[in-house]
A and B are shown apart, each in its own frame.
Chain A
Amino acid sequence: MALKMVKGSIDRMFDKNLQDLVRGIRNHKEDEAKYISQCIDEIKQELKQDNIAVKANAVCKLTYLQMLGYDISWAAFNIIEVMSASKFTFKRIGYLAASQCFHEGTDVIMLTTNQIRKDLSSPNQYDTGVALTGLSCFVTPDLARDLANDIMTLMSHTKPYIRKKAVLIMYKVFLKYPESLRPAFPRLKEKLEDPDPGVQSAAVNVICELARRNPKNYLSLAPLFFKLMTSSTNNWVLIKIIKLFGALTPLEPRLGKKLIEPLTNLIHSTSAMSLLYECVNTVIAVLISLSSGMPNHSASIQLCVQKLRILIEDSDQNLKYLGLLAMSKILKTHPKSVQSHKDLILQCLDDKDESIRLRALDLLYGMVSKKNLMEIVKKLMIHVDKAEGTTYRDELLTKIIDICSQSNYQYITNFEWYISILVELTRLEGTRHGHLIAAQMLDVAIRVKAIRKFAVSQMAMLLDNAHLIASNTQRNGICEVLYAAAWICGEFSEHLEEANQTLEAMLRPKVTTLPGHIQAVYVQNMVKLYASILQQKERSGEKEGAQEITQLMIERLPQFVQSADLEVQERASCILQLIKYIQKLQIKEVPVAEEVIALFAGELNPVAPKAQKKVPVPEGLDLDAWINEPPSDSESEDEKPKTIFHDEEQRHSRHRQPEIDEEELARRREARKQEQANNPFYIKSSPSPQKRYQDTPGVEHIPVVQIDLSVPLKVPGMPMSDQYVKLEEERRHKQKLEKDKKKKKQKKEKRGKHHRHNSLHTESEEDIAPAHHVDIITEEMPENALPSDEDDKDPNDPYKALDIDLDNLVSGKPSRPLADSEKLPVQRHRNVETLKSPDSEAPLVEKKSKKPKKKEKKHKEKEREKGKKKEKEKKVVEEEEEKKGEDLDFWLSTAPPPASTTQPQSEPEVGAAVVPEAQEVKKEEREEREEEEEEEEGKKSSKHKKKKHKKEKDEKSKDKKKSKKKSHHSEEETTESVQNGTLDDEPLPPMSSYRLLAENPYIKMTYDIQGNLQNDSQVTVSVIFENKSTSFLKSMELNVLDSLNTKMLRPEGSSVHDGIPVPFQLPPGISNEAQFVFTLQSIVMAQKLKGTLSFIVKNDEGSTHEKLDFKLHFSCASYLITTPCYSDAFAKLLESGDLHMSSIKVDGISISFQHLLAKICFHHHFSVVERVDSCASMYSRSIQGHHVCLLVKKGENSVSIDGKCNDSTLLSNLLDEMKETLSKC
């Protein structure tokens, strides 16, 4: 025995340890792989031994090999063995190896659960620490579920070292097991105020990660973070918090207002660049969020831009880079303030650091205007020539094209210039972006009609010089431009002056060296050319000329017939035959040109890239519904019909179609048939097809964007883009002079007349008229295309599962306490009685962790009782405190001093420190706020009252539910027809949902807002424009100032300041309707957007520009979609207890109950679920899936409405709106 021991240790002396392995690998550089495989064999032997030290050594070596790229998952079981060693030394090696190679797919991982649990509760803090560290890397959903409770307990460990690790790892647990978030959150929040700065920092870290993904759930923590921000001195924590605020402000502009002060102070005071930079970033985010509401923050913008300029001018490249990065964020909302630093940014283009140059390029993209486009592009062209290395040059090239083509060529005033820039770019050798240039050429030539003549002449020249471009076809992407050149010359051959010459150029033998697809285009387009030459010759009676050209084709085409490319071969041989036939006819002196040209009649229109995708699914077409009956009954039985209500957890999977029962299907089918019968676009089998699409021969129906006209300009010969710059300057100068003259004239003429100038500052962008009369044809889209872009949504986003409402949990409201099912699973011994909530555990943990587990049971019960009592007391205190302090609205609406004193017990000094500073600055704002405060307080007190009455009401409503259930059966038939309150025969007064938007002597606008069923964050605003004048109204453009929450959906590429053109003109007395889509984030509150309609009034006296301002009011009701609901589902919903409750009462109602219901249905988009006498239940659903249930009761002269909804804010806003409607009755 002793001998064996000695032998074992001697063996070990010759085992390799990690150092030997490394040394060995270094010594076997030539045959490393062979050496390592030898070592692996040895390791396998070592792993078979019983000695844990040997095993640990082997596992340690494996970890090293893993780093070199060797798979070590085969040793997973041995790693677990080492993990369960009793000695820390070995345990650590095991956990390290596990953290490097275990993952969700490792099957033995489930064996570790108990071992890890044991280590977590080890008396040695480092055992616990190592287990936590390991777990952070390989936690699986199962491990997370089983260990969540243990880790949560560790969050209150006595040692801060363990606490901070446990807090961090909870984030990983949340990711894998989202159900743990709600129960763990209160404790996590507690840790924000942990005495140890490390733990605090960890908690901030975790909440920031959580909040970054789902910011809206964490808004209520803003006051707490605000306090931390003003008190913390740890820059890491500060940075995290400030970043978090950056994510929160877009949701709550009021928060931004509150932040500006302290952030500006930090910017002034801090010396840490990292902190300064993050502050600037967040201030920018705040300013963006405020951009719609508060115009006067130019001081803050100036400060940011100033600081950024300092960063950019710094010699440290890192700061320069970050400065540019942040600058580009400002650019989006405040382009003017950045544009003044154009010099600096152009300088950065010369920087030796490519990352910085690329950032500067990005900035330039946003800085161009009509005025400076040519200048900037000229600079870029110089850089293109200078650039070494093709990657950067290619980047420049794409940027030039991006800059010029952005927003539908918005900034290009002279397309001849742009074409010549493109032509100049073709001289770049070895670029990969030939196809990009080609695409631009095609796009411009097709969409800008006026430029076609010029474009054709340029393209003809390119074709003529094809040998220069195509000199090295193999690695040369630039020959792609020949594709565009050939097509343009062919398609628009009527503009070609020397068609013969071009045709000859295309028939050169050299062409056959081009790539196949280009040759194919050549072949096709030379026929187009041929056809137009033929026509020309026949018209002028040059029979010989016509025959000559035919002969030329017949001679040269065979070289293409021999092509190896099938496409080329096929086209060429086909065309050759055609031309031979033409030749025969020509010999017989039959005129053929007209017939040949007919081959290419008609125009090709551009189709938008996503047009196909955007064809909307017709209403009533359910792609998921069965076309035939499902194959067998057994399958369909499996799918039990669910209620149409998803509970909150399911809401993230909104796109899923609720399963439907047969009845519903039948109903839908019926509805669909109806729909189809009424739908003119539905192609029916009956022989009455309405050829809606075929009737319209394309061109006339393409919407044309008009750009104002000016002097046409023609430059013969080879264009140099530079000369355009000069010409442009001259032209602008002239224009300016002309304008000045005009202005003077106008002033003379129109003195005293009612006249509104559109902003008259000379040299403003808008004043620069383009050099050409240019129509940019917009690309074709299918009718009713949905402008939504759902492409970027990732259905597999792991963070979505963490979108869990924590508010009511945090603020301790009783509305949605932890359900039993939500509590974390706890491992326990046989006869443990009731589940205890993790909350009640909280005060115990500190004591518990010291005690050995076996004794625990007896104590548990006693302590639990104590705990419960304590908790009750605690809750009462907390609730009161929270009502005052934690309510976000309250916090946000009051000035900082009272806010910081809300928790005077905990940190009075901080509060005191903040007060004087804030007081000084905010004195002016204060007065306003105090008013708000009063209002707020008024609301508060009413809330209190409500709470008192709540119980009674709850009971009442329960009674009602019961009675409803009883009456349910007898009423069922009627309830069906009661839908939307139109049961009675009583005639209803006519109602219109269109409300007045704005009105002036020329035009009247009324509007209606409808939720969009397909998209949970969009509403469609239909505006009716009515021309009240005797003049012709045209060029109407509607623009709104987006708020952070609500934005008008503009066509791709246009900026937030662009208006949307109204797609029609209005003759006198005519009205027409246009629709605008808005995207929203939060729908719980009503919104108001300011906007302007600009239009041109044209009558006999001339035309004038007019403007009409309006306010678009998005009421909460407009976010609701009338959704029918069955009474049983309705009852279930009410019982679920997930809904907040609120009620209103309106006196002095004289109209009948029937009318009242109809009004609510019509104006607020509800549907009647059930009606019994003078009592009705109603239901609606918001576009974001909130359920809204109402119980409407009519007394003699009053109406009371009790509402329940998932979201209390939404509910109270809805009720307020309803109150307003009803009080008008």
Chain B
Amino acid sequence: MINAILVFNNHGKPRLVRFYQHLAEEVQQQIIRETFHLVLKRDDHICNFLECGSLFGGSDYKLIYRHYATLYFVFCVDSSESELGILDLIQVFVETLDKCFENVCELDLIFHMDKVHHILQEVVIGGMVLETNMNEIVAQVEAQSKLEKAEGGLSAAPSRAVSAVKNINLPEIPRNINIGDINIKVPNLSQFM
């Protein structure tokens, strides 16, 4: 079982928080902070597994994380999950994000938190892995956004127009992470999937 999925940036700002057990908001923030400090200490060339003690409650839990450019993707899992499998799952998740957002960067995650959640829900539900095939995930996500667009029609048009207008004033959104960085070595990816 996956106990929690956290995404935060190099400064510890949460970008996606998904706990699969109920915890009060303060506790969640506390866990995010502590996880961040644990992960931050580790440089990029050491292993991606980390025993987190009783941070998440049980002693069985383990943190498995990947660091992409400015973002940390951290999965907290128990012993029933395969460590290398979860590492691959993180890669699948990030690649899916990349496909859905077309060159994903931190800002996409910041401004479209809801969409990120919806994508995640096609990968993991209730702490259990739902789908690991990227094409299948992308297909389902796209089918749903199509449905949303079809529904939206009239009512969504004005709000889209408004946000277009609002965006005009902004300087070009800096695309500071590139999926180029994301494709860091995944030793077993090709064989695994």
Hey, which bits of chain A sit against chain B, CB under 8 A? 9, 12-13, 17-20, 22-23, 53, 57, 60, 63-64, 66-71, 87-89, 92-93, 96, 100, 103-105, 124, 126, 132-133, 136-138, 161, 164-165, 168-169, 171-172, 198, 201-202, 205-206, 208-209, 212, 235-236, 239, 243, 270-275, 277-278, 316-322, 352-356
Contact = CB atoms under 8 A, between A and B. Distances in A.
A273 B188 CA distance: 6
12 contacts: A22-B111, A69-B25, A89-B152, A92-B118, A93-B114, A96-B117, A136-B125, A208-B80, A239-B85, A270-B191, A274-B82, A317-B45
Contacts of A320: 47
A22 B112 CA distance: 9
Nearest to B29: A69
A257 to B, nearest CB: 24
A322 B83 contact: yes
A71 B117 CA distance: 19
A178 B46 CA distance: 42
A163 to B, nearest CB: 11
Q: How large is the interface on B (under 10, 10 to 19, 20 to 34, 35 or more residues)?
A: 35 or more
B140 interface: yes
A1173 B19 CA distance: 67
> Helix, strand, loop or mixed for chain A's interface?
helix
Nearest to A278: B82
B20 to A, nearest CB: 7
B125 A356 contact: no
Interface of B: 1, 14, 16-18, 20, 22, 24-26, 28-29, 45-51, 80, 82-85, 87-88, 110-114, 117-118, 121, 125-133, 136, 140, 143-144, 147-148, 151-152, 155-156, 158-159, 162-163, 166, 170, 187-188, 191-193
Contact of B82 (A13, A69, A201, A243): A243
Given A318-B48, A353-B46, A355-B51, A274 B188 contact: yes
Closest 7 CB pairs of A and B: A136-B126, A274-B84, A103-B22, A353-B46, A317-B47, A69-B29, A273-B188
Given A236-B132, A274-B192, A321-B47, A96 B118 contact: yes
B151 A89 contact: yes
A19 B88 CA distance: 31
A69 B26 contact: yes
Given A69-B25, A92-B118, A164-B130, A18 B50 contact: no
Given A133-B125, A206-B128, A356-B46, A274 B140 contact: no
A64 B113 contact: yes
A18 B128 contact: no
Contact of B126 (A60, A70, A137, A274): A137
A274 B88 CA distance: 9
B62 to A, nearest CB: 10
A943 B75 CA distance: 51
A316 B50 CA distance: 15
A784 to B, nearest CB: 32
Nearest to B192: A272
Residue from A20, A138, A165, A278 with most neighbouring chain B CB atoms (10 Å): A165
A165 B130 contact: yes
A843 B13 CA distance: 51
Given A202-B130, A274-B82, A321-B49, 15 more contacts: A19-B111, A23-B111, A67-B17, A71-B25, A92-B148, A137-B126, A161-B140, A169-B125, A205-B128, A235-B193, A270-B191, A273-B191, A274-B83, A318-B83, A319-B187
A100 B23 CA distance: 10
A126 B114 contact: no
A198 B122 CA distance: 12
Given A60-B114, A239-B82, A20 B166 contact: yes
A13 B25 CA distance: 31
Nearest to A234: B132
A855 to B, nearest CB: 28
A63 B162 CA distance: 22
Contact of B125 (A9, A132, A243): A132
Given A18-B113, A318-B47, A355-B51, A104 B22 contact: yes
A126 B144 contact: yes
Nearest to B144: A126
B144 A277 contact: no
B47 A209 contact: no
B83 A133 contact: no
A104 to B, nearest CB: 7
Contacts of A201: 129, 132
B25 A66 contact: yes
Contacts of B83: 274, 277, 318, 322
Contact of B187 (A89, A100, A236, A273): A273
Contact of B85 (A69, A70, A92, A274): A274
A317 B50 CA distance: 12
Given A88-B148, A273-B84, A318-B49, A17 B126 contact: no
Contact of B158 (A9, A103, A236, A243): A9
B133 to A, nearest CB: 8
B128 A168 contact: yes
A592 B170 CA distance: 95
Contacts of B187: 273, 316, 318-319
Nearest to B80: A212
Contact of A198 (B50, B82, B136, B147): B136
Nearest to A125: B143
A208 B191 CA distance: 24
A322 B84 contact: yes
Contacts of B85: 235-236, 239, 274
A126 to B, nearest CB: 5
A277 B82 contact: yes
Contacts of B127: 136
Contacts of A22: 110-111, 113
A96 B129 contact: no
A53 B128 contact: no
A19 B167 CA distance: 10
Contacts of B29: 69
Contacts of B45: 317, 352-353
B114 A17 contact: no
Contact of A172 (B18, B126, B133, B144): B126
B173 to A, nearest CB: 10
A355 to B, nearest CB: 6
Nearest to A318: B47
- Among the interface residues A67, A132, A172, A205, which one has the most CB atoms of the partner chain B within 10 A? A67
Contact of A63 (B111, B113, B130, B158): B113
Contacts of A273: 84, 187-188, 191-192
* Residue among B26, B45, B140, B155 facing the most chain A CB atoms (10 A cut-off): B155
B46 A18 contact: no
A93 B83 CA distance: 32
Given A13-B158, A321-B47, A67 B16 contact: yes
A981 B18 CA distance: 65
Contact of B191 (A17, A60, A87, A272): A272
A69 B125 contact: no
A18 B163 CA distance: 10
A362 B113 CA distance: 41
Given A67-B16, A272-B191, A209 B128 contact: yes
A63 B158 CA distance: 23
Contact of A17 (B88, B117, B144, B163): B163
Nearest to A358: B51
A92 B118 CA distance: 8
A937 B170 CA distance: 81
Contact of B148 (A68, A89, A103): A89
A235 B133 CA distance: 11
B187 to A, nearest CB: 5
A18 B111 contact: yes
Contact of A171 (B126, B144, B166): B126
A69 to B, nearest CB: 4
Contacts of B117: 63, 96
Nearest to A169: B126
A310 B65 CA distance: 23
